Amino acid sequence: MAQMPALSLAAVPGRRRTTVELATEIERRGFQGIYCPSFGDAMGLCLSIAGATKELRFGTSIMPIYMRNAYDMAQSAAYIHEISGGRFYLGIGVSHGPANARLGVRTGKPLSDTRDYVAKMRASEKVVGELPPLVLATLRKKMVSLAVEIGEGAVWANASRSHMGDSLAGIPAGRADFFIGDMIPTCIDDDRDAAANVMKRTLTGYVSLPNYRNYWKEAGYTEEMEAIEHAIEKGDRESIPGLMSDRWLSDSTLYGPVKDVRNGLEAWFAAGVRTPIVVPSSTKGGQLKAFEEIFAAFS
């Protein structure tokens, strides 16, 4: 039997009850877990998932550290950890400078700020109770090393599969319980070009961020990233999707017919990602349609 991925799930306003019902269906169908992105109140959704499911592992991927006081975050995380029977994983990260700026939050130094935040969370355990495993959002090697030093896992978003061996080289082989995840944008459609176009739209915002472009340069996509930088400098954002090579897109996402997506997922497992987190999109509708397609693909 093929290995099952985890799924990314967000609570969209107006559909929050439906989202929690979807979580129970994800558990019933045997998926590996649910990991919630930062938008849509990930902690609130995780609290609901804790009550709605019985055995499924779940968590955040990620909660931005600049949005909540470390003690407050620790208190909420310890509560969900306890009532879920230890099934909860807290993914935290610095998010992105432009996103933080839009919210009036100043981004500091990612490594030192993350280290200090985790230290404050751990110092609060004697008051708030045992913390869940802490998973650091990461892209490049210094943050991976920090995750090994102070955390229980690392989670990427939109990583390049061909680069994962290099990224994971710093994780000791003896850390068998170390969480290794990646959020993988996914679109299932027999029309491979249509699915690719959805993935290009999904990643347009990410290639606009310097930290992601630097990661993809490290992963071997310097030509594509420099072309995108040139387009941004010219104010020609409409040309960005056309600058995304098929090689790069296939290395960072899953798209096309069911067989291609399932084979690609197996390649992610083989690359060392223990918890691939499928982020569903659809050419035919929104989140609910995308989950319908994912369920059919893994039935």
Residue span of the structural domain in which 50 resides:
6-200+251-297
The residue-averaged pLDDT of 242-257 equals: 98
pLDDT tens-digit map of 98-156: 665 666 677 779 999 999 999 999 999 999 999 999 999 999 999 999 999 999 999 99
The residue-averaged pLDDT of 166-171 equals: 96
Q: Say how many domains are in the chain.
A: 1
Q: Is residue 158 a part of any domain in this protein?
A: yes
Q: Is residue 108 a part of any domain in this protein?
A: yes
Q: Is residue 56 a part of any domain in this protein?
A: yes
Mean pLDDT of the chain: 95
Q: Is residue 193 a part of any domain in this protein?
A: yes
What are the C-alpha distances in Å from 192 to residues 121, 186, 188, 196, 271? 45, 12, 8, 6, 23
Distance between CA atoms of residues 157 and 139, nearest Å: 8
Q: Is residue 242 a part of any domain in this protein?
A: no
Token code pair at residue 211: 């930290």
| The pLDDT value given to residue 225 | 98
| The pLDDT value given to residue 111 | 96
The one-letter amino acid at 96? H
Q: Is residue 94 a part of any domain in this protein?
A: yes
| The pLDDT value given to residue 1 | 56
Which region holds residue 34: left if phi is over 0, alpha if psi is between -120 and 50, else beta? beta
| The pLDDT value given to residue 170 | 92
Q: What is the pTM of this model?
A: 0.96
Q: Is residue 216 a part of any domain in this protein?
A: no
The residue-averaged pLDDT of 259-277 equals: 98
| The pLDDT value given to residue 39 | 84
| CATH number of the domain where residue 293 is located | 3.20.20.30
pLDDT tens-digit map of 2-13: 799 999 999 989
The residue-averaged pLDDT of 175-192 equals: 97
pLDDT tens-digit map of 29-68: 999 999 999 888 999 999 999 999 999 999 999 899 999 9
What are the C-alpha distances in Å from 92 to residues 37, 44, 151, 264? 10, 15, 10, 27
Q: Say what the alpha-carbon torsion angle 24, 30, 35, 36 is, to the nearest 10 degrees.
A: -30
pLDDT tens-digit map of 216-249: 999 999 999 999 999 999 999 999 999 999 999 9
Q: Is residue 207 a part of any domain in this protein?
A: no
